[in-house]
Amino acid sequence: MKEIIGVIGAGTMGAGIAQVAAQAGHKVVLSDTNPEQLLRAEQQIKKSIDKLIEKGKFTAQLGQEILHNLQFSTQLSEHSQASLVIEAIVENLSIKHQVFQQLEQVVGPTCVLASNTSSLSIASIGACLQDPSRFLGIHFFNPATLMPLVEVIPGVATQKEVTNQIENLIGSWHKTVVVCKDTPGFIVNRVARPFYGEALRIYEEGLADFATIDWAMTTIGGFKMGPFTLMDYIGNDINYTVTETVFAAFYYDPRFKPSFTQKRHMEAGFLGRKSGRGFYDYKEGSSAPVPTEDFNLGRQIFERILVLLINEASDAVFMQVASPAAVDLAMTKGVNYPKGLLAWADELDAGWVLERLESLFTEYGEDRYRPNPLLRRKAREQSKFIL
C-alpha cells in the first residue's frame, strides 16, 4: 500500500497537488481551515478529472478511484498518519510557522514536512521546527496537474536522505524533478526575471510597444507567449510581487529591479486577464493591438532579452544553484522555453552572447548588464555549458 500524503491549503495549488498525488495512487488528505474552500477544491478536482475522462485519459472507474483516494478535512490532526505533508498556503512566514509548529505535534517522527513556497527561504520556514532535518521545499508550478516541473529545494538543515527520498517519490508521480539550492527564486523564478524585466525596460525606453515586443519574442524567438501576454496571464499583482520579493532577497541587486510600468498597472487594477485589462484590454468587443512587424527591430528586441536570460542562467550555475542540465530542464519544463538557455548559448557561441552583453554594459553602464564570470570563462576557453 502506498504512503498517505497530506496537503495543507485547498487553494488552486493545494488542490492541484492533492490531485497529482491521488492520481499517483496515494491516499491524500487535503486540509483547510475554510470549509467553503474545501468544497471549491473538491469541485475543482472533480471537474478536472471529468475533463480527463472526456478526453480518454482516464476510464470512469479510474476517475472514481482517484476521487475515493481523497479526503477533505478542516483539522490538521487528520494528517497524523501521513508520510509526507506539503504546505500550500499564503506566502506569509509567521502564518507558515504557526502551521508547521502545530503540524509537528501531530505527525509521526519520520514524516517529511515540505512547503510549496515560491518566494520564501526554506531555511527560514524550517527554522521553527524542532527537527528541521526532515523539512524541505517542493515547488510545483501552476497548474500542478499539467506542468511537469517540480523544484525540490533542501534547506541547510535538510538531511541528504530526505532529499533523495522526495526526489524519487515526486519522480514516481510522473513529474520532472530538479534539485536546487535554497536561494531566492530557486531556478525558474530567478532565471526568468529578465524575460519580464528587460521587456518592460525596452517598452519604457520607447523602443517598442507591448504588442511589438510580444511579436518579437514569439515570432522571432519561438517563445509560446510574449512577456506582456504572459504577465497578463499570470496577473500583474502576482508577477510584480515575485519580482519585488526576488529584488529585495538579492539585497537589491539591479539585475532584478522592478518596473514602474508594471507597478502602475497593478496600482490601477490592470491585473491582466482576471481583471479584464492589463497590458492589453480583454473586455468584450476590444480589438488586439497590431505589432510593428519590423524584423530588424524584432531581432534586436529578442537578442537583448535572450542574452540577459542566458546571463542569468549562467549565474545560477556559477553560484552553484543547480547544474547546467538542471537549469535548462527547469526552464523548458517549468516555463516552456523553446530551448534550454545554456544549450542556446552553446548553439549561438558564448563569445557572441558576451559581445552583446558587453555592448549593453558599455552603453548603459548599469550592473543589470554585467556579464557573468562563468560566461566570460566559456567565451575565453571557447567551451560549452552542456558537455
DSSP of 270-337, one letter per residue?
--BGGGTBSSSB-STT--PPPP---HHHHHHHHHHHHHHHHHHHHHHHHTTSS-HHHHHHHHHHHS--
Nearest residue to 88 via CA among 43, 49, 125, 44: 125
Domain finish residue from 130, 149, 179: 179
- Arithmetic mean of pLDDT over the chain: 96
**What is the CATH classification number for the domain harbouring 225?**
1.10.1040.50
Q: How far apart are CA 307 and CA 309, in angstroms?
A: 5
The pLDDT of residue 136 is above 90: yes
Domain finish residue from 179, 207, 241: 179
Domain finish residue from 156, 179, 202: 179
Numbers of helices and strands, H then E, in the chain: 17, 8
Q: What is the pTM of this model?
A: 0.94
C-alpha cell at 318: 556559477
C-alpha cell at 184: 531566492
What residues contact residue 265 under an 8 Å CB cut-off, 6+ apart? 236, 271, 278, 279
Please provide the distance, in angstroms rounded to a whole number, between the alpha carbons at the two ends of the chain. Answer: 41
**pLDDT tens digits, 98-107:** 999 999 999 9
**pLDDT tens digits, 152-203:** 999 999 999 999 999 999 999 999 999 999 999 999 999 999 999 999 999 9
Task: Assess whether 55 and 130 both reside in one domain.
Answer: yes
Task: Assess whether 207 and 157 both reside in one domain.
Answer: no
Task: Assess whether 171 and 202 both reside in one domain.
Answer: no
Task: Assess whether 150 and 203 both reside in one domain.
Answer: no
Task: Tell me which residue range forms the domain holding 14.
Answer: 5-179
> What pLDDT, on the 0 to 100 scale, is given for residue 102?
97
**pLDDT tens digits, 24-36:** 999 999 999 999 9
Task: Assess whether 249 and 329 both reside in one domain.
Answer: yes
Percent of the chain with pLDDT over 90: 97
**What is the CATH classification number for the domain harbouring 171?**
3.40.50.720
In the chain, the DSSP E strands lie at 5-8, 28-31, 70-73, 84-87, 112-115, 135-140, 149-154, 176-179
pLDDT range class, residue 1, cuts 50, 70, 90: low
Q: Which residues are known catalytic residues?
A: 118, 139, 151, 189
DSSP of 13-35, one letter per residue?
HHHHHHHHHHHTT--EEEE-S-H
User: What average pLDDT does range 112-139 have in this prediction?
Assistant: 96
Task: Assess whether 366 and 227 both reside in one domain.
Answer: yes
**pLDDT tens digits, 350-369:** 999 999 999 999 999 999 99
Task: Assess whether 330 and 378 both reside in one domain.
Answer: yes
Task: Assess whether 160 and 269 both reside in one domain.
Answer: no
